[in-house]
Structure 1
Amino acid sequence: MPHTSPSSLSAYDYLVELLSQTDDSDFIREILAALLTEKEQKEIANRIQIFALFQQALPQREIAERLGVGIATVSRGAKAYGQHDINQLLPNLSHLNL
């Protein structure tokens, strides 16, 4: 398990630093399970799936229907997709089971 001193970091920066120091996916899963509710984990998964479907150039309404989420959820995902270079940050999301 990695060691990071939280004394000089914000809580968020501490988490980023901690996660960047490990390649142990079980450890990362444990941290995320401790920090996020099941609903929050599902929302993150939905956001990633929305990005994957945007990479496939699907329309927002079809994405909402496919994932069983509201159009507002997809619209927020579209906004984030447009504000960040998702294709660079999360390339090749096509391997996801959608």
Structure 2
Amino acid sequence: MKQSLTNLAEFFAKIPDVKTAEAVLPNIFTPSELVELEQRLRIFEMLNANMPQRKIASKLGVSIGTVSRGSRVLKYEASDYLKKQSWRGQSKLWPGSLL
């Protein structure tokens, strides 16, 4: 698992720009996987902005369990990158941010 994670991280870290990433991601992930990944990142963004879990679930149209899982990840497992204070209140991460 560790080597697989390292291989994936190295691959994605080598993508040179957003335009290239936009071309590559749909070749690797299905449309539903891309939606799920974006939703997870939005959940982290909203949790970092101290938005209530029920409000997040409502805005994103996901279950409260999905949001609770994101909350647990941030609290106990997340990397410092996901916990960064610089995310708080910023909507630059997602141009159409729901914050």
| 1:23-62 → structure 2 map (5 Å cutoff) | 23-62=16-55
Distance 1:26 1:11 in 2: 25
Question: Aligned residues, how many?
Answer: 88
TM-score (normalised: structure 2) = 0.73
Structure 2: gaps (5+ residues)? none
Q: Which entry has the higher C-alpha Rg, 1 or 2?
A: 1
Distance 2:28 2:5 in 1: 11
| 1:70 is aligned to 2:63 | yes
Distance 1:71 1:12 in 2: 28
1:9-38 Cα offsets, whole Å, 9 max, x none, are: x55433321222232222222221111111
Q: CA RMSD in A?
A: 2.0
Return closer, same or farther for 1:91/1:41 CA change in 2, 3 Å cut-off: farther
Q: Which runs of 4+ in 1 moved over 6 A?
A: none
Distance 1:91 1:33 in 2: 28
Identity %: 30
TM-score (normalised: structure 1) = 0.74
Structure 1: gaps (5+ residues)? 1-9
